[in-house]
Structure 1
Amino acid sequence: MKELWLQRPFRWYWLGLFLSGLGDQMGWMALSWFVMERTQSPVAMGGIIMAYMLPAVFAGLVAGVLLDRYDRTKLIVVDNVGRGVIFFGLVALLQMEQVPRLLVYILVVCAGILSPLSSAGAQTLLPRLVPKKELLVKANGVMESQWQIVYMLGPAMAGVLIGWIGPAHVLILNAASFFVCAFCFSRLPRQLIAHQVQDQEASSGSAAKKVGPFLRSLLADMRVGYRYLFGRKEMLLLVIFTFLFNMGYGPVEVALPLYANKDLAAGPVGLGMLWSSLAGGALLGSLLFTAVRWKLATGVTLGGIIVLWGLATLPLALFTRLEVAMLAMGIAGLSFSPYNILYRSYLQNHVPDHLLGRVMTSIRTITGTGMPAGAAVCGVLIPVLGVRGLLGAGAAACILTGLLALVLLRGLDQQESLAVDQRGGDSLQPVGQEGVELGEERKA
């Protein structure tokens, strides 16, 4: 571990992502609070979330290609400088007497389009910064711990700062963190990424002159991923239930600021405590889950997790005490954290390595729309059901979805492996035992 921290490039990398992540956590909480104060519109709050997340999901398809063709460090710097300018612009727009919502949405969409350059780019850059395999494992462990710390500290710090200096100034701090991140990545030694640029320089130049073939190849790769997914019934069911689970999370994302402010009368500090409780529970849940040998079937476990999330968040609709809400959020985090571990491991074990990127990207365009879709629906339903009514409806929907998943996902571990017919490019066909790439021993 000491050898890792002695490497200056890694220290710049860690510092940039830590400050940017911390600023982003505070910034999004401040933005939702600012929009709530300035517009008093749940629809606007849901729209902001959807305007950021949906473009990020679909822009990721192109971001991966750009990161393979151009200097990854420069793309990360461009993203952070661009989003820093955007958040400064949001502060200015939200200060106006009549908030121009359309312009706010446009800026948020632009921020969402840029964001995959850093979220995906940072992951692809790390192996170049830490080429030793034994150190790379430790580096990934350090980065995972960093994100968990950010998720725990960010909301709590935001709650205190919003009450102290106001949401506008917290947004300014978020914008500044992007510029600091850009500076940190600009300090990475050129020789670490020079060979990437040299390898891709010719291909990127020719691609720029042949836009049509580039787009056709991109669409063809996307089609392979979708055809593989839709050819596997059990995997498709898993993706659908993950979409519904993400959608069921939408009420919490949209209603929690209103719940903390009106029902709990806890203000931004209380909101930060609720989010930190969720993050703390998730951290504890992931540590406990990885420490035990899990024997239940994957499908049963995933369905049970969805049910537990619904049961854990139900008290938010029934009680208006901060300590009860914090306990509920902590239990919710504890219950849902194993979901991503099992879900990703299942896909990695059942999708051939040469298709994993395309299949995962295709799946992300489906599951990634769940939360913003849920947030948008909730923005419309809050005036009808009220904040607590919406939270109760979301909890009930998760319970019912989880019970259905318990039945339909029971055969998840027994599904048949499929391979791509290399002659047809993107056609799929079942393969016999001699052609199965993921054997029985690889099942989750």
Structure 2
Amino acid sequence: MTEPAAPRWSVFRNGDFRLYGAARFLTGLAYQMQAVAVGWFVYDLTRSALALGLVGLASFLPAMLSALITGHVADTYDRRLVTAIAYATLAAADLGLVAIALSGTGSIWPIYALVVVIGTSRAFANPALQALLPTLVPRPLFGSAIAWNASLWQSASILGPAAGGFLYMLGPAAVFGAAAASFALASALVVAIRFRPAAVTERPPVTWATLSAGLSYIRSQPVVLGAISLDLVAVLLGGATALLPIFAAEILHVGPLGLGALRSMPAAGAVVTAILLAYRPLERHAGQRMLQAVAVFGLAITAFGLSTSLPLSMACLFVTGAADMISVYVRQTFVQGETPDAMRGRVSAVNTVFIGASNELGEFESGTLAALVGAVPAVVAGGLATILVAVLWGRLFPALKGRDRLLPAE
């Protein structure tokens, strides 16, 4: 059986998928509101690019250090409950940020401590939730489910920054409170999913072999390894998200609303592309399209770094989101569609670390480089490096470049 030529709206007839999608939308909304508020709050307190970079590092390190454990948990316990508990913890962390904002303290370290809690909770939630999706829909609708799920997430990523910027005018506590409510509701929705996994009669022992099985599997799959590492290196070098408060305040001269608009643009490009992919999925040359999309991403980031116009900057970020969505669509289909279910949590955990490295660790890299050479040179250099990476990966991973279909025939 092969994937159908066109996806169907019938994926939304699945009640579990609707609950799953609603939870993803709410958490996407919460993550983006949270990111806008934390970024602006930290920059408002410190006026430091390095401080913004440390936010990304504090969020990424827990995912990196706990990846083998979180993947094992996702493959051993009920993925619904693991996700729900993680979202409830995220809600509690946001309530802690509310308390800090209302206290008026000028100390930055309590914020970093709660960002670590947030990063740890996401480290448990992401692989469990990613591994859950393929069990909720039949394989012929899996490509459609990936695209629609991505469009829901990116739609939230459009609304989230704008809502965060608007609410921030009422104070950071308002944003963190709204994020806490969203996470709490998402936790309840995940618990309500009717799908129940088969009872685990014997839990696998916690050994290095079982913990590292995800890494071993990825190393044995050159297409998956190439796709994951390409996304890691490209976004690590070309990401500019952490520096958006600097561009908004010092280069484009806009306030929190302008920052929210800038943060919304990549998601706007991504959601348009995701909907197009849902209706017209990639039929051929999947590997080449991924490499081309990464090159376009780097070109758009370079143009953004050179721009001093708000409309042009927004357009460049829109293109980065569209290009990144193609890369994400191909990578997620490879990772979730071809991995055996018994190992899907561990592989998703490793994938989550790579995503975190390309985003949160990329924020640390961007903030550190900007502190040394300035925000504009840091972004431009990263964009040019990303273009070179797309060319290099085509040579290092010929299996990825030559990959034609997204999913092999069953």
What is the TM-score when the length of structure 2 is the normalising length? Answer: 0.81
Larger relative contact order (CA 8 Å, sep ≥ 6): 2
Contact 1:303 1:404 in 2 (8 A): no
Q: Which residue of 2 aligns with 1:34?
A: 41
Distance 1:118 1:364, change over 3 A: closer
| Mapped partners of 1:122, 1:181: distance in 2 | 12
Q: Distance in 2 between matches of 1:5 and 1:293?
A: 23
Which one is further off, 116-125 or 47-56? Answer: 116-125
Distance 1:133 1:349 in 2: 8
Q: State how 1:367-378 maps to structure 2 within 5 Å.
A: 368-378=356-366
**Is this contact kept in 2: 1:263–1:320, CA < 8 A?**
yes
Aligned partner (choices 151, 157, 175) of residue 151 of structure 1: 157
8 Å contact from structure 2 (residues 86, 124) kept in 1: yes
Partners of 1:70 and 1:36 in 2: CA distance: 39
Q: d(CA) in 2 for partners of 1:124 and 1:239? A: 16
Cα distance in structure 2, aligned partners of 1:295 and 1:143: 22
Change over 3 Å in CA distance of 1:66–1:235 after alignment to 2: closer
Q: CA deviation at 1:144?
A: 4.1
1:349–1:442 CA contact under 8 A, matched in 2: no
Contact in 2 for aligned 1:245/1:306 (Cα 8 Å): yes
Whole-angstrom CA distance in 2 between matches of 1:3 and 1:376: 38
- Report the equivalent of 1:442: 408
CA distance in 1 between counterparts of 2:141 and 2:171 reads 42
Q: Which amino acid aligns with 2:47?
A: Q
- 1:292, CA displacement in angstroms? 6.5
1:22 aligns with 2:29: yes
Inter-partner Cα distance in structure 2 for 1:323 and 1:145:
23
Mapping of residues 67-86 of structure 1, within 5 Å: 67-86=74-93
Q: Which residue does the alignment assign to 1:45?
A: 52
Q: Does 1:173 align with 2:178?
A: yes
For 2:272 and 2:34, locate their aligned partners in 1 and report how far apart those are by CA, in whole Å. Answer: 25
Distance (Å, rounded) in 2 between the aligned partners of 1:297 and 1:145: 19
| 1:432 aligned residue | none
Distance 1:38 1:302, change over 3 A: same
How far apart in 2 are the matches of 1:114 and 1:332?
28
Residue in 1 that maps onto 2:378: 390
RMSD after superposition: 3.8
- Cα deviation, 1:379-420, whole Å, max 9, x if unaligned, reads 2222222221211121121122223234334453569xxxxx
8 Å CA contact 2:127, 2:348 repeated in 1: no
Where in structure 2 are the equivalents of 1:99-114 lying within 5 Å?
Answer: 99-114=106-121
Question: Is the 2:130–2:336 Cα contact (8 Å) retained in structure 1?
Answer: no
Once the 2 structures are TM-superposed, how far is the Cα of residue 56 of structure 1 from its aligned partner? 3.0
Question: Could you say which residue in structure 2 is the equivalent of 1:265?
Answer: 253
Q: Quick one: distance in 2 between partners of 1:115 and 1:352?
A: 23
- Residues 191-243 of structure 1 show CA distances to partners (whole Å, capped at 9, x for unaligned) of x46x659x24x64xxx6xxxxx8331xx2124344344445667645543332
- For residues 222 and 398 of structure 1, do their structure 2 counterparts lie closer, same or farther at Cα, with a shift above 3 Å needed? same
Q: Is residue 2:248 matched to residue 1:242?
A: no
In structure 1, the gaps of 5 or more residues are 208-212, 416-438
Task: Decide whether aligned partners of structure 1 residues 237 and 52 sit closer, same or farther in structure 2, where only a CA change above 3 A counts.
Answer: same
Q: 1:114 to 1:90 in 2, by over 3 A?
A: same
Q: Supply the distance in 2 between the matched residues of 1:135 and 1:303 (Cα, whole angstroms).
A: 25
Q: Decide whether the 8 Å contact of 2:50 with 2:368 is kept in 1.
A: yes
**Alignment of 1:318 onto 2:324:** no
Mapped partners of 1:379, 1:271: distance in 2: 17
Q: Provide closer, same or farther for how the CA distance between residues 68 and 326 of structure 1 changes in structure 2, counting only shifts above 3 A.
A: same
Aligned partners of 2:37 and 2:164 also within 8 Å: yes
Change (3 A) 1:113 1:292: closer
Moved more, 325-334 or 114-123: 114-123
CA–CA distance in structure 1, aligned partners of residues 302 and 121 of structure 2 = 36
Which has the greater radius of gyration? 1
Residue 276 of structure 1: how far off its partner (Å): 2.0
TM-aligned CA distance change 1:136 to 1:402, over 3 Å: closer
Q: Quick one: structure 1 residues 294 and 385, their matched pair in 2 at CA, closer, same or farther if it must change by over 3 Å?
A: farther
Q: Is the 8 A contact 2:101 2:172 kept in 1?
A: no
In the TM superposition, residue 257 of structure 1 has moved relative to its aligned partner by 1.7
Amino acid at match of 2:109: L
Distance 1:143 1:313, change over 3 A: closer
CA 1:58/1:308 → structure 2, altered by over 3 Å: closer, same or farther? same
Cα deviation, residue 34, structure 1: 0.8
